[in-house]
Each structure stands twice: as C-alpha cells, then as structure tokens.
Amino acid sequence: PGLQSRVDGHLREYLSHKAKSNSDSRDNLLSRTSSNGNIFADEGLFEQPEPRPQIQAAMEKVFWIRSVQMHTEQQAWQDSSDGWRMGEFRRSLPAYKEKDAILNAISQNQVVIISGETGCGKTTQIPQYILESEIDSLRGATCSIICTQPRRISAMSVSERIATERGEKLGETVGYKVRLEGIKGRDTRLLFCTTGILLRRLLVDRNLKGVTHVIVDEIHERGMNEDFLLIVLKELLPRRPDLRVVLMSATLDADLFSSYFGGAPSVKIPGFTHPVHSYFLEDVLETTGYRLSAENQIDDYGQEKTWKSNKQFIKKRKSQIASAVEEALVSADFNNYSQQTRISMSCWNPDCIGFNLIEFLLFTICQNEKPGAVLVFMTGWDDISSLKEKLQAHPHLGDPARVLLLACHGSMASTEQRLIFEKPEGGVRKIVLATNIAETSITIDDVVFVIDCGKAKETSYDALNNTPCLLPSWISKVSAKQRRGRAGRVQPGECYHLYPRCVYNAFADYQLPEILRTPLQSLCLQIKSLKLGSISEFLSKALQSPELLAVQNAIEYLKVIGALDESEDLTVLGRYLTMLPVEPKLGKMLILGAIFNCLDPILTVVAGLSVRDPFLAPLDKKDLAEAAKAQFSHAHSDHLALVRAYEGWKVAEYELTGHEYCWKNFLSAQSMKAIYSLRQEFQSLLIDTGLIDSNITTHNTWSYDENLLRAVICYGLYPGICSVVHNEKSFSLKTMEDGQVHLHSNSVNARDSKIPYPWLVFNEKIKVNSIFLRDSTAISDSVLLLFGGTLLKGDIDGHLKMLGGYLEFFMDPGLAEMYQSLRQELDELLQCK
Ligand code: CDP
Ligand code: MG
C-alpha cells in the first residue's frame, strides 16, 4: 500500500487502454509471426518452372524449341548493325581476351575466382559470356544464372546495361530483383539481385533448385552479406555437384578466396591505367610556400568571408588551393590526429571548411584545367545532397550551361543514373558527387580528376538485417588507391586527397571485413532467421571469424533484450528485429512506438541516434550553443530535446526559414535533413513488416505524451541504465558495471543540479579518463519496472529477476517490494500469461 501510488498514473492508464485496444493487433501480430517463414516469403519472383512427371516430356520439347529460338535471336542481333557496333565495344574490353580461359575454367571447376581492374568488364561481360555459351550449346532455356551485387543500384543499372548490349528490353533474358522491386519475365535466364535477396531465397529454398550458376560479384569488398553467402554456398556445394559458383573481385587477394574453397583456380584479367598525379593536403602547401593571410580567415561557422571577392585569389591557382588547404588544416586540427577511426567530423561539416575547399577546387579545375569529368568521393548521400545544394548556388558551378552536376549514390533515380555514363556536349564539365559506390562497382569512363575526402560511410539499403554503419570513417589504403585510379582511365589524371599524407600513412592497408566490424548482434539475429543452427558454430566457418568472446557477448545481449530465448531461438520480438535493418535497440523503439501509437516522435529519436549529433557545439561558442540547446531541455532528456528541436525545424522549413532556425539554435541543417529522410525510410520499413499501415497518422494518437515516450526510449536503451544519486548540492551517477560515471557536457542533463527522476537511460558510454554517458533520458521507477528488459517476450519472471538484480544492487528495498505488488497487475495488464 502507498507504493502503488508511485506508479505513474498516466502509464497505467495507457497500459490498460492499450491492453484492450491492442489485444486485436497483438493477437494478429503473434499469429502472423508464429506461422514464421511466411513473413519472409518472397513475392513469387523466384518460382521456377517445375514440371510434373506426366508433362515432363512435353516440357522438355518446349524447352528445346525455346533454346533453339534463343540461339537464332542472338545470332540475328549480332548480325544487325547496332548489334555489331555494340559487339565491337564489348570485344574492346580487357575481359574479352580471357573469355575462353574463363569459360573453360568454369566448365571444369565448381568454383572459379575471377579478378581484374575495375572497368575491365567483369560485371557486364562475364555473366553474359556464361549466358551466351549456354545459349550456344542450346541450353538457353534451361539455364538459370544468378549474379549478386552488394548494392541495389548496381543490380539495377548493370541489368539494364546488359539488356541494352543484347538488344533486348529489361525483363526478357535479363532481369533484376532487389528488395520491393524487380523486373523479371518468364524467359529471364540471367538475374541480377542484391546479395540479401539471394540470402532470402536460401531461406525458402536451401538447395537453390534449378539454379545452374551463382556469380558473387565484388567479393573484395568483404561485405557482411557476401561473406555470409560464401559460408552458405560452401556448405551447399557438396549437395549440388552440378552448381557452378563464380566469385568476382577487383584486383585483390585471390589466394584468400581460393584457399577458402579448397584451392579453386583463379583467372586474372590484366588491365591498364594511365598515371595519376596525387596531391595530399600538405603537398600543395609545401610546393607553394603559401602562408595563411588575414584576408582568408574563417569565422566560427567556417563561412568564408572574402575569397570570392578578393581579386588576388583569382590569380594564382596553386596559392588559391593552398589557402583553402591551410584553412582546412587549421580547422581540422590534424596535428591531433590519432589512429582512431572515430575522429571529429568537423572537417566535413557542410557549414564548415571541407565543403568550401571542395567548391574551391572544383571551381579552379573548371577554370584552368584540361577537359575531363570530375569525380568527387563523399561520405554519403546526405553530404552529397548538401554539397550539391551549395554548388548549385555558385555562379559558375551552378550554371547548367557550363557544368553538369550529378550525384551518384545508392538511392538515386534511374534517369540520373544514365546521365552519369554520358559525355556532355559543348564543353560542359561533368561533375559527379559520389559515394564509394563509384570506387569499384560503377565505372565512369571520362573521369580525369578525382577529389577524395578520405572517408566513407557504408549505408546499405538492403533489408534482411544488414545493419547500416552510419558513422563515416577513414578509408583504407587500397580504397584510396582505387579512388585515385578512377582518374586515369582515359588519359593521365590528377587526384586531390583532402587529407595530409600522415593521415594516409595511418590508414589500414585493407578495410576490415564487414563481418568483423558490424555489430554482431544483428549478424546473430540474421543467422537465426536463416535457421543456420548454432550461432558460434556457424560463424567459426567464415573466411575470417569474429572473436568467440564477442559472439558470446552479442548472444548474451540479445537474450537480455529479449530477442533470443534461453535456448538461443528467436522470440517474437527477435523475428521482428530481423526485419528492421537497424541496431536492435533502435528496432525495439520503432516496434514499441508503433504498438503504442507514438511513432512520430519515436521516428525522430531513432533517426537522431543514427546521424551525427545535430546539436553543434563550436568550441569558442560553447556557452551560446549550450544555452540554445537548453531551450529544448524541459524534459530532462536529450532524446526529447531533439524531438522538440526537430519539430521546430519542420515548422521553420515549411516557412522556408529552416536555415535561419538552425543557425540561431546551433543545429546542423544537414543532420536535420538526414533525420527527415531517415524517418521516411524507417517508416517504410515498418510498413513492410506489417507493423503499421500506410496511414501513419493513425499511429500517432499518443505521440505527445512525454511519459510514454520515456517508456519507449527506455525499452530500447535498456540495459543502458544508471541510477541518479542526489546529494546536497548536486547529484552523482552510478551504473552497475562501472560504478561512478559522468554526463557528457553536451547533455541537457549535465547543466542541471537536480534531476527529479531516479534513473537515466543512455545510448552510449564513452571512456576517456573516466566514463561519460552520451544522450540520456530521465525515467521514473515505474517506467523502468514496466519497460526495462523483456516486455514483449512475455517472460515476466525473467524480467523481474533481472530488474530485481538492479534493485538489489542499488539497495532500494522499497522498490523491490513494489515489484511484488505489481507482479500480478502486470500479468493481467499485459496478458502475457
Ligand atoms: O565490373 P567491372 O568493373 O570489371 O566492369 P563493368 O562494370 O563490367 O564495365 C565494363 C565497361 O562497361 C566499363 O568500362 C564501362 O565503360 C561500360 N559500362 C557502361 O558504359 N555503362 C554501364 N552502365 C556499365 C558499364
Ligand atoms: Mg564490377
């Protein structure tokens, strides 16, 4: 008695209300997931012709006739004048010289590895060679070739290119299939798909029945899905002795793959590139002896004051670059560079100098250099779109009569895609702003200049639980070399690396395979969803396996958050998490936000946790910035502060004053835009999983109730939790594992002397000298009780035991008692028993 009154009144009301109104949808949810398999079932694009015994003979006859037809059609195209011209181009590619060697190797071995310089014709030609040789030997109608691509955009653009080369429409012999989209017909014999799609097919068709060839492209990237697929294929080979597997990679470590597949032979396609001169930041400085002058100082936001108007700048190109370079060096503080990959991104903030430097370089190239396209490597689409916006406002670079400005990234439209490969007429300079997609998987032939920002952010758009890695990090030496090489395809070129040589020297030789750098939690969920048996056993068979301890930690974490049960099987929650390609903690928030009808703000919270901190804190205006953030801090929550800031931005953006709003409130406009589009993306993922319907407004009934939001945030961030211990003047924080911890100075909670809540949930711990917590939200006892741990799993006992552990640790007998009294009520409310 008395204790129950501590239970947050609001929350109880919601729970009982929700328990009633949601019982339908929950039943629905449970029954749908219990039939398993179905939630992944493909849209039927994969079904193979499956002849019944009685009509087998007839079918064979049909296949035979169709095979002969295909052969004749192909001959006719090759003899036509367009076909001949296309053939000439195809025969000019380096891959053509190795055609016979390649086909021979494939016919004699189950696994073949093919490597060659980017642009030599691996992706567009080799699948075609195989297809053509099948058609020539009158097996055209019965072959089925699948070629996987790490990115949906390459699957789409390559299949279209091949159809053109074959004088066909997409969807005839050649098709593609990516998540939620595909063009494929009855006659399609060569199918390009993302690696994730093939993994999904394996889920329902373990033996890849009817498939004759699997080509895995871009294996040098060592993407998680590709490494994953290789394990699965390796296991499949003995069961399917007739299946042929072809692995394709840019020039790299063929031996590693060869020995993984028991000494499989490899074919190397020789290539050629012109020399490329590369500049590092300080090279330019040294050769010009330029020193920073007063005129080109930058102000706090990195906004240049004078260079455009200052005539002296237009004169000497080298010193112009040097000045911009020196600005960049000063503002980026490279002297403090350490080997860590998580380095301050200030250099590439659009409001800052990195963008100015790029703009400057582009302008100089356009003014002074020989013709040729410019390829700019950026970290991701958000950077690209901000830079594009900036350049469009430039009097020269933004003039379509002089510059063709294009973006090349994973989610671009297909019309834009085609423009990338075309050569502009009339002295127009083509500038392509690209992600690392243009490093190896897309080749733009006329590039002569490359600008390399030195960072990359891999964002995967393929679901099936590929966790996007959203923090940009330094690229590897191999990537830098690849980027440089893009400038020398048609003639000698130039490459500007926008980082000093010392930074380059500290780059890793190769990038770590994704399987070793992605959060293992998501990987474990994926293994489980594909029913691949014991997680640690499966991972021990990888090309390079993650550490056992790391695997165990991940499994343990998944159990704690309720995604796996004690016997390591997926729970209902776990199954939903495998469908959301975000970290489990973010996935949990999305799911609960959807169930509790408060999705709008939760989408903002989740998107906010996936982009770089939108609250800017320039060193010399720290106080002003903190004061600006404090306006949003009413709720003792950094997460809710962001929601407020975002809401304000949305209104301002609608009134076309978004930029001013950001400026005034020390917010990054770029992050705000990134949040805006991530929200859309998460929303469509939730629609895909069936958790919400497309009318999103029906899922926002409770969206402005702060306590409910705290609950959902707690549900996601648990077990990231610390207790608030008040003393006379202020408070201290403790976690179970680390003891005393501190708040990061950017946190809204760091400025308060009192937090009227007993707990904080946090997103991340950072160890500097002591441990600091980033982004926290204050929560009440009742929220922790009800939402900490494993609510949806239904394992109330386990949940209570675990929380009991916390309470005992913090020695709060009152709370422990409250547990007992709440147990029964909880059981009834949540109908979990
Ligand atoms: O896969 P790899 O990097 O070896 O080369 P590819 O993608 O097969 O491209 C071979 C050549 O086809 C490139 O050099 C481009 O010139 C050309 N290509 C094109 O013109 N349009 C496309 N959509 C794709 C390739
Ligand atoms: Mg390729």
pLDDT at 510: 81
pLDDT at 39 over 70: no
Write down the pLDDT at residue 342. Answer: 27
- The predicted pLDDT at position 345 comes to 31
pLDDT at 318: 46
What letters, b where the CB count within 10 A reaches 16 and e where it falls short, cover 74-113?
beebeeeeebeebbeebeebbbbebbeebbebbeebbbbb
Q: What is the pLDDT of residue 333?
A: 38
422 lines ligand 1 (CB under 6 A): no
Contact 573, 793 (CB under 8 A): yes
Mean pLDDT of 734-739: 80
| pLDDT (average), residues 819-830 | 51
Average pLDDT over residues 542-556: 88
Q: 443 alpha carbon to ligand 1 midpoint, in Å?
A: 6
Per-chain residues with Cβ under 5 A from ion ligand 2: 122-123
**Average pLDDT, whole number, for the chain?**
78
CB atoms within 10 A of CB 801: 11
- 768 vs 114, residue with greater confidence: 114
Query: Ligand 1 mean position to 412 CA, how many Å?
Result: 18
Judge if the beta carbon of residue 118 lies within 6 A of ligand 1: yes
Pairwise pLDDT comparison (331 vs 429), residue with the higher score:
429
**Residue 427, number of CB atoms within 10 A of its CB:** 8
Average pLDDT over residues 213-240: 92
Range with the poorest average pLDDT among 1-10, 84-93, 242-251, 279-288 = 1-10
Interval 105-122: pLDDT, tens: 999 999 999 999 888 999
What is the mean pLDDT of the segment spanning 576-585?
82
Ligand 1 mean position to 123 CA, how many Å?
7
Q: 101 pLDDT exceeds 90?
A: yes
Longest Cα–Cα distance of the chain, Å, equals 91
- Percent of the chain at pLDDT exceeding 70: 76
Q: Which of 237-251, 456-470, 553-567 has the lowest mean pLDDT?
A: 456-470
| Contacts of residue 772, Cβ cutoff 8 Å, sequence gap at least 6 | 741, 742, 743, 744, 765, 766
Mean pLDDT, rounded, for 604-623: 82
Per-residue confidence (pLDDT) for residue 619, from 0 to 100: 67
Pairing of strands 266-269, 111-116: parallel
Token pair for residue 420?
A: 């990338």
User: Considering every ligand atom, which ligand is closest to the CA of 271?
Assistant: 1
Q: Tell me, what's the pLDDT at 234?
A: 94
Q: Once rounded to an integer, what is the mean pLDDT over residues 202-219?
A: 90
User: Burial of 291 by CB count in 10 Å (0-12 exposed, 13-18 middle, 19+ buried)?
Assistant: exposed
The residue ranking higher by pLDDT, 786 or 715, is 715
The pLDDT score that the predictor gives to residue 465 is 30
**Higher per-residue confidence, 449 vs 426:** 449
Q: Is 175 in the pocket of ligand 1 (CB under 6 A)?
A: no
Look-up of token digits 């993922």: 685
Q: Which token pair is 270?
A: 């020789």
**pLDDT at res. 648:** 94
Q: Which atom of ligand 1 is nearest to the CA of 248?
A: 1
Using CA positions, which residue lies closest to atom 23 of ligand 1?
161
* Confidence band for 130, pLDDT divided at 50, 70 and 90: very high
How many secondary structure helices (H) and strands (E) does the chain include? 35, 21
Confidence class for position 594, pLDDT limits 50, 70, 90: confident
Query: In terms of pLDDT, which residue wins out, 496 or 349?
Result: 496
> How much is the pLDDT for 231?
93
Sign of CA pseudo-dihedral 793, 797, 800, 802: negative
Distance CA 280, CA 506 (A): 14
Is there an atom of ligand 1 within 6 Å of 296 CB? no
